[in-house]
Amino acid sequence: MRYVAEHAFVLHARPWRETSLLVEILSAEHGRIGLVARGVQGPKRHVLRAALQPLQSIRFDAVQRGELAQLISAEAVDAVPLLRGDAAMAAFYLNELCMRLAPRQDPQPELHAAYATTRERLGSKQSLAWTLRRFERDLLDALGVGFALDVDGDGLPLDPAARYLLDPEHGPRRALDDRGGARHAAATGRGLLALAADALPDRDDLGSLRLPLRGVLLHYLEGRGLKSWDMLGELGRLSAARPG
């Protein structure tokens, strides 16, 4: 299979052998693709190396041979957002989620669009926590495993004043008590309704969404956590407003 002038985002790149890179990208038409970029470490290939940095939007040509495609050419479409601190860690998380959950060679136009929007938001002054919660929601929807956030698993409207556990295969379930610390892993009804309406909730309601959504993601990660979760310690330290 041949890819010609395909648009994609670079998720990850690592050295391979002496002069090459192994690159993972996310395209709209073909989903996640693994590329072998040969001979990119030479002194005259700095433009190509720069185009293959994570988060970069590229246009590329390649030939699929087995599991990995051979990169023929790649060019940067725009400039990578300059991210620092928590925003850079958020980008690492974004890419790791796509690496772990996006299937290979399966069209992902909705995920590709959500990635593009989130990439833009990471480079702005929008709330990082809110940006990530929205991407987690959109990722699950794009992969076909999302669920309604304005009704519970039985189809009843959420109570804004109640708290809900998120069952990956059933949707929101009302948390009836605090046994086993369940309340701390439950989202507020207000927070879930805000996420459903794509309307920024207040800080406490926004904070309540992190652990329940992480639990859903962990289910689809088959219980294997993310390096970014370990590196950040707690994603909750991403404040509701991006630091200046």
- DSSP string of 29-96, one letter each residue: TTEEEEEEETT-SSTT-HHHHHHTSTT-EEEEEEEEETTEEEEEEEEESSPPP---HHHHHHHHHHHH
131 and 152, same domain (yes or no): yes
Please state the rounded mean pLDDT for residues 16-21: 86
> 43 lies in a domain?
yes
Count of structural domains within the chain: 2
> 138 lies in a domain?
yes
56 and 11, same domain (yes or no): yes
202 and 104, same domain (yes or no): yes
What range does the domain containing 173 cover?
85-237
Find the CATH number of the domain harbouring 22: 2.40.50.140
Q: What is the pTM of this model?
A: 0.89
Residue pLDDT, tens place only, 203-219: 999 999 999 999 999 99
pLDDT at residue number 50 = 85
> 54 lies in a domain?
yes
pLDDT at residue number 91 = 95
69 and 151, same domain (yes or no): no
213 and 117, same domain (yes or no): yes
40 and 62, same domain (yes or no): yes
The Cα 108–Cα 189 span in angstroms is 30
135 and 199, same domain (yes or no): yes
Of 16, 48, 76, which residue sits at a domain end?
Answer: 76
The Cα 26–Cα 13 span in angstroms is 12
189 and 93, same domain (yes or no): yes
Please state the rounded mean pLDDT for residues 106-127: 95
The Cα 178–Cα 126 span in angstroms is 33
Of 55, 76, 97, which residue sits at a domain end?
Answer: 76
Residue 136: name the closest of 215, 224, 199 by CA: 215
Residue 6 corresponds to which tokens in the numbers above? 């395909």
pLDDT at residue number 24 = 97
With a cut of 70, say whether residue 109 has pLDDT above it.
Answer: yes
**For all residues of the chain together, what is the average pLDDT?**
90
42 and 147, same domain (yes or no): no
> 58 lies in a domain?
yes
With a cut of 70, say whether residue 58 has pLDDT above it.
Answer: yes
Of 27, 54, 76, which residue sits at a domain end?
Answer: 76
> 244 lies in a domain?
no
